[in-house]
Amino acid sequence: MINKTAVLLGLQWGDEGKGKIVDVLTPQYDIIARFQGGPNAGHTLIFDGKKHVLHTIPSGIFHGNVINVIGNGVVIDPIIFQKEIEKLQENGVPFQERLLISKKAHLILPTHRILDAASEAAKGAAKIGSTLKGIGPTYMDKTGRNGLRVGDILEDDFVLKYNELKEKHLKILSQYNFEYELTEMENQWMKSIAFLKAMTIIDSEHYVNNALNQGKKVLAEGAQGSLLDIDFGSYPFVTSSNTVTAGACTGLGIAPNKIGDVFGIFKAYCTRVGSGPFPTELHDEVGERMRKEGHEFGSTTGRPRRCGWLDIPALKYACMINGVTELFMMKADVLSIFDEIKICTHYRWKNEVIDYLPYNATENLEPVYTSVKGWSTDLTQISHQDQFPVELKDYIAFISDAVGIPITIVSVGPDRTQTISMR
């Protein structure tokens, strides 16, 4: 029998709680491997009364005897990476023996960040709402075959290559009417490159496949969410990588026949940060209460997240694209404040009732809701599913029936311990 990788990824627009659950599941694995995205991600972990936010480093880093791999599909900003490592150092986390970085991961240059900002500024009201971490321009250079990779920093001609790419960027920037400061960021970046050099840099595709062949258990950690996927998200309001299960194959070098469980994470409602369509978005006091109760402010940028009811057609779509085998429902506790909870089951669009997201459906897409009774009970102290109020059990059953996939974990608070198994 083939030893397969498990994949854990977000099914909505990101921030579903991936970091928390990866941390919870890590003791069951030998390797946690990030496969795409970069410091646009902000994965929050809370345990022992302390909060940690990771951007580039996989969420298994706080556990001993587990190796964390930053895969080839990830893009790394050395400055942000160094800051993350320094935080781990402050917390006494032995990162050196736990962290491996792919030679093939691409580097985010200071000029990629500036290009991201210049591009967003030029778009004006049509901006993507990017995290301004340089993600889009870095992946553009990757597919445009101009990029710099982590392995390049070990070569003698690295500075030469860096300068060549920088010059290309400066030419592009001269076409924008955009002011920027580069020197200081560049100095800092070069220092961080030296820091990165001291890490263990490997051919991670060989490492992961050898580990699988030896029977080791691997969990691939996604970033962002399926509705932000470059191919299947609400284009152009998406990120620049494949956030779906297939991204774990290309982002780690794992063959499709070596993908096993696919854990799909979703919030009991929906949030989105940045621009783009969001059919169930609430522009009223209900949305405001959701944001407040769920502390829906970005982990990376601090921006308020847009909030709305759960969207079943969008969830089904994400499950189809990803081949989800188990669903994890997060932040159930946040909905405790509502007497009535709505679930979008269909959309009304051009006088038709549909259950899929149509191409370019930015306007005139009206959610069709089913209302259910809320549980109006504090869930945060619950330790077993038997203690769940009946209305919550009904909510869980409604969703897993509608999607056709079991919900095997329900999260009732941000702490590691507030995680209920439904098995």
- And the tokens for 181? 């400061």
Binding mask 29-68 for ligand GDP (x = CB under 6 A): ------------xxxx-x----------------------
With CB under 5 to 8 Å by kind, the binding choice for 414 among Mg ion, ligand IMO, ligand GDP, none is ligand GDP
Binding mask 226-265 toward ligand IMO (x if CB under 6 A, else -) reads --x----------xx-------------------------
**Count of residues that interact with ligand IMO, criterion CB under 6 A:** 25
- Least CB distance from residue 357 to ligand IMO, whole Å? 17
Question: CB of residue 261 vs ligand IMO: minimum separation in angstroms?
Answer: 20
CB nearer to ligand IMO: pick between 149 and 305? 305
Helix (H, G, I), strand (E, B) or coil at 135: helix
Residue 161 class from Cβ within 10 Å (0-12 exposed, 13-18 middle, 19+ buried)?
A: middle
Nearest distance in Å: CB 17, ligand GDP: 4
> Taking CB within 5 to 8 Å according to partner kind, which of ligand IMO, Mg ion, ligand GDP, none is near residue 112?
none
Half-sphere exposure of 62 (CA within 13 A, CB side): 24
Written as six digits, the tokens of 198 are: 């001291």
Of 286-305, binders to Mg ion (CB under 5 A) are: 299
Q: Cβ(223)–Cβ(57) under 8 Å? A: no
Minimal CA–CA distance to 356: which of 371, 344, 370?
Answer: 344
CB neighbour list of residue 241: distance below 8 Å, 6 or more residues apart: 36, 37, 73, 75, 135, 139, 224, 229, 230, 247, 251
Q: Which stretch binds ligand IMO (CB under 6 A): 6-14, 154-162, 262-270, 398-406?
A: 6-14
Picking from 332, 345, 339, 347, the residue whose alpha carbon sits closest to that of residue 393 is: 332
Residue 50, both tokens: 């302390």
Q: Which stretch binds ligand GDP (CB under 6 A): 15-23, 65-73, 232-240, 248-256?
A: 15-23
Kindly list the catalytic residues: 15, 43
333: contact with ligand GDP by CB under 6 A: yes
For ligand IMO, the closer of residues 306 and 316 by Cβ is 306
The verdict on 279 binding ligand IMO (CB under 6 A) reads no
* Packed helices 390-403 and 312-322: angle between N→C axes, nearest 10 degrees: 50
Tokens for 196? 């990165």
Nearer to ligand IMO, 40 or 209 (CB): 40
Among 5, 56, 204, 224, binds ligand IMO (CB under 6 A): 224
By three-state DSSP, how is residue 254 classified? coil
What string of DSSP letters covers 145-174? T---BGGGGGSTTHHHHHHHHHHHHHHHHH
Stated as kind and residue range, the H or E segment containing 348 is strand 340-349
Q: How far is the CB of 53 from Mg ion (least distance, A)?
A: 8
| The token pair that represents 159 in the structure block | 């500075």
The counts of H helices and E strands in the chain are 11, 20
DSSP-assigned states of every residue in 61-85: TTSTT-EEEE-TTBEE-HHHHHHHH
Q: Which residue's CB comes closest to ligand IMO?
A: 274
Q: Which does 129 bind (CB under 5 to 8 A by kind): ligand IMO, Mg ion, ligand GDP, none?
A: ligand IMO
Name the residue nearer to ligand GDP (CB basis): 16 or 141: 16
List residues binding ligand IMO (CB under 6 A): 10, 13-15, 37, 40-43, 128-131, 133, 135-136, 223-225, 228, 239-240, 273-274, 299
Enumerate binding residues for Mg ion (CB under 5 A).
Answer: 15, 42, 299
Chain residues in the site for ligand GDP (CB under 6 A) = 10, 14-20, 41-44, 46, 294-295, 299, 330-331, 333-334, 411-414
